[in-house]
A = this chain, B = another copy of it.
Amino acid sequence: MIRINENFNALQGSYLFYETGKRVKEFQQKNPDIRVIKLGIGDVTEPLSPSIIAGLKEAVSEMGVRETFQGYPPYEGYEFLRNIICETDFRARGINISPGEIFVSTGAKEDTANIQELFSGDIKLAITDPVYPVYVDSNIMAGRNKIEYLPCNAESNFLPGLPSEDADLIYLCFPNNPTGQAIDRAGLKKWVDYARQKKAVILFDAAYESYIREEGIPHSIYEIDGAEEVAIEFRSLSKAAGFTGTRCSYTVIPDKLMAPDKSGVRHSLNKLWLRRQSTKSNGVAYIIQKGAYGYFTEKGRLENMKIVDYYLENASIIGRGIAALGLNYCGGVNSPYIWCSVPEGLNSWQFFDELLSRCNIAGTPGSGFGSCGEGYFRLTGFGKRQDINEAVERLVKFK
């Protein structure tokens, strides 16, 4: 008789953003005349920039003609895309990453969820709390339960301390989702040194790299000496290039990154990931990769830098609105996220419901990101300026 994967029973009923989405939808169905301003899921709102559209259009035309039609893409991504990624995101910053170390995929969510498949079932995990739920849920689904949560709260300046027990696999995300906190070079070096000492692997989620505006904040973990021996880095075009609905990202697995099996034989994680990807996927659509290429051109980067600046200014406006309510917050600098404390007497989900019904603003309850997120709330800087301004005006109802 068939039986289900029991580990699903250990998960919460539904994925966080599925739940918040459902509550907002229900509210809107009951209140069709009310316009809810969505500052919850962190979805971009500006259209794709001209360079990206040009790449997409060209690719669509090519797909309609026999001579330029493209079939199965390479599992690792087209060379034209891996080359320009390498140049713009790494070599231009003096970081020595080669195209063979880059794997293009449909999303950093997919990659951060799937990467755990490369590792043994009984390793010890270190995961920050609050955290993007995918890291935890993907491991719970796979049956891993040795998880040390590293609290990130006001006392620790929203940065995690080193694990108390030796960790084997460490999830870090900077600039952080959900707290918006960035990490400086010294702070990140501490983690790379720890991983080297403990023979651990760091999974570094840099999906918000393009929001970094301050000096001294590393754009890549490979800016830190020795990181290429201990770290995998995830990058995404979702928030950098407006690709939430277009789906493209990439993952860096350096050739120097090795890990042993039980017999002590060391394996290249780059080769292991290629085996995983070539077995379980057929790569990313040609059209999408051509659009992504448009983003990485000089013109495309400039266009999108301006869009990111727009979202950063939105976040900053929300931050001022939050501060005016007398609530503390972090983020909004080097990040599109505002992570604020909720008003006294309410928990995160209560604030979610109150904010939805009283101000008609959808946010994300901090406790959805982990137990240390209780008492906090995430708002995003995505949206039209007009809506952001209106949201801040509506917030005064909480005074």
Contacts and interface: CB of A to CB of B under 8 A. Distances in A.
Contacts of A18: 75, 274, 278
A168 B2 contact: yes
Interface string A3-43: 11110110100110110000000000000000000000101
Interface residues of A, number: 88
Question: What number of copies of this chain does the assembly contain?
Answer: 2
A271 B71 CA distance: 33
A275 B5 CA distance: 12
B282 A110 contact: yes
Contacts of A199: 1-2
Nearest to A169: B2
Given A46-B66, A110-B281, A279-B133, A245 B72 contact: yes
Contacts of A275: 8, 11, 14-15
Interface in A102-137: 106-107, 109-110, 113-114, 117-121, 123, 133-134, 137
Contact of A120 (B5, B56, B198): B5
A326 interface: no
Nearest to A138: B280
B9 A261 contact: yes
A282 B109 contact: yes
A96 interface: no
Interface of A: 1-6, 8-9, 11, 14-15, 17-18, 41, 43-48, 50, 53, 56-57, 60-61, 63-66, 69-73, 75, 106-107, 109-110, 113-114, 117-121, 123, 133-134, 137-138, 141, 143, 168-169, 198-201, 238, 242, 244-247, 259-262, 267, 269, 272, 274-276, 278-288, 384
7 pairs of A and B residues whose beta carbons are closest in the complex: A43-B71, A113-B280, A3-B120, A70-B245, A53-B64, A15-B278, A1-B199
Given A2-B260, A47-B64, A110-B280, 9 more contacts: A1-B199, A47-B65, A47-B69, A56-B63, A109-B280, A109-B282, A121-B143, A246-B285, A287-B288
